[in-house]
Amino acid sequence: MSTNVVVRPVRTTDAEALGRVHAACWHETYDQLVSKAALENLSPRRMAELWNHWASLGDEYNQFAALVEGEIVGFVGSGPARDEDAPRERELYYIYLLQQYQGTGIGQQLFDAACGDRPGYLWVPKQNARAHSFYRRNGMVADGAERMETLLGEEICEVRFVR
């Protein structure tokens, strides 16, 4: 991609922009997995409030934003494992990139910033084949674990990938 891409740590001043991008990414990613009614309850303002909290987390959390021409287009976060039976010490919590920037290498830059080549794991919707391919390219494998997770009040099946 020939545009100017910067991947940098998330700042507290990013909360509003991150909320907008987060809401847009969820609409793009989950429109096939949850009902339209559930997605309609998702507001950029609510997501920005979450980001106000996330941006203030400690140093053990790696959170980065990707900017194109100065505008946030994606983000990633990893940190200590949250599962009692975690297969690794680090977990990739989320990685989202606006659809128009997928396939440009920015997602890889975000993944590398948060995870590097360290061992880790993540949960991803079972039906998200594009994400599965991305994680496999990064040395992660589905380990057979599945769970039901509530997303916007609806249940989705997630599978675990481990490296």
Q: Domain containing 17 — which CATH number?
A: 3.40.630.30
- Domain span including residue 79: 5-117
Q: What share of the chain is helix, strand, coil (3-state, %, to 5)?
A: 35, 35, 30
pTM of the full predicted structure?
0.88
Task: Indicate the number of domains in the chain.
Answer: 1
Tokens (6 digits) for 16: 């509003």
Q: Is residue 73 part of a domain?
A: yes
Q: Is residue 146 part of a domain?
A: no
Max CA pair span of the chain: 43
Alpha-carbon distance 27 to 21, whole Å? 10
Q: What secondary structure, in 3-state letters, does 91-137 show?
A: EEEEEEECHHHCCCCHHHHHHHHHHCCCCCEEEEECCCHHHHHHHHH
- pLDDT by position in tens, the chain (length 163): 457 899 999 988 888 898 889 888 887 877 777 767 666 776 777 777 777 767 667 677 889 999 999 999 999 999 999 999 999 999 999 999 999 999 999 999 999 999 999 999 999 999 889 899 999 999 999 999 999 988 777 888 999 999 9
Q: Helix crossing, 44-54 with 15-30: angle to 10°?
A: 120
Q: Is residue 56 part of a domain?
A: yes
DSSP-derived secondary structure letter, 57: -
Q: Is residue 61 part of a domain?
A: yes
Q: Is residue 75 part of a domain?
A: yes
